[in-house]
Amino acid sequence: MRFAEDMLRLYAVTDRSWTGRQTLCEQVEQALMGGATCVQLREKEMERGALVAEAKEIKALCARYGVPLIINDDAALAVEVDADGVHVGQEDMAAQQARRLIGPDRILGVTAKTVEQALRAQEAGADYLGSGAIFGSATKLNARPMTRELLESICASVSIPVAAIGGISRRNIASLEGTGIRGAAIVSGIFAAEDIEAECRFLRAEIEKIVG
């Protein structure tokens, strides 16, 4: 699946902390039904075989909705399960190496926390950036909040689109208007919701207002 900017609008990042009544796959489908435009599978602790099986299941689900599946950090897994792309952080694989592994046709996202990192990622072939943690993070407790001014500078410094990430929810998403972002990557604001589908409908409507 070729990258298109509107894939970033409502970027759902999985976290199995809130599974229980539903499986992760069921939760992802709720998000897709509510208007998620991209899904990132982020699993740090799973055994490899179980991770491959889950990634294939969620890939098939995303394909039914015409939405890309991005694998967090693991370019080899993205190729193995034929995911649509990979997202790498600054502490993970270098963007150039990730691009070599996934080839020219898969999507490459890179975390950028400074203008310098944003420019390097763009030069290395990133399709989009993830920048934050704009409101801190409920899932990465050591994530330092990013100032609005820095987010604006990152968006202005590159020609590729930027998705804000970090603590985004219905309470604060509207305040991202005017920053230059083209989407919002959301973890607990989606997957901790009582009604994931309804929450995604609300968040999708809000981000569409922001990006115009």
Q: What is the CATH number of the domain that holds 48?
A: 3.20.20.70
Token pair, residue 79, equals 């190729």
Calculate helix-pair angle for 48-65, 24-33, nearest 10 degrees.
20
Domain that holds residue 149: 5-211
Q: How does residue 91 score in pLDDT terms, banded at 50, 70 and 90?
A: confident
User: Is residue 141 over pLDDT 90?
Assistant: no
Q: What is the pTM of this model?
A: 0.95
User: Is residue 16 over pLDDT 70?
Assistant: yes
Number of domains making up the chain: 1
Going by the DSSP 8-state scheme, the letter that residue 89 receives in this structure is -
Query: Is 75 within 8 Å of 102 (Cβ atoms)?
Result: yes
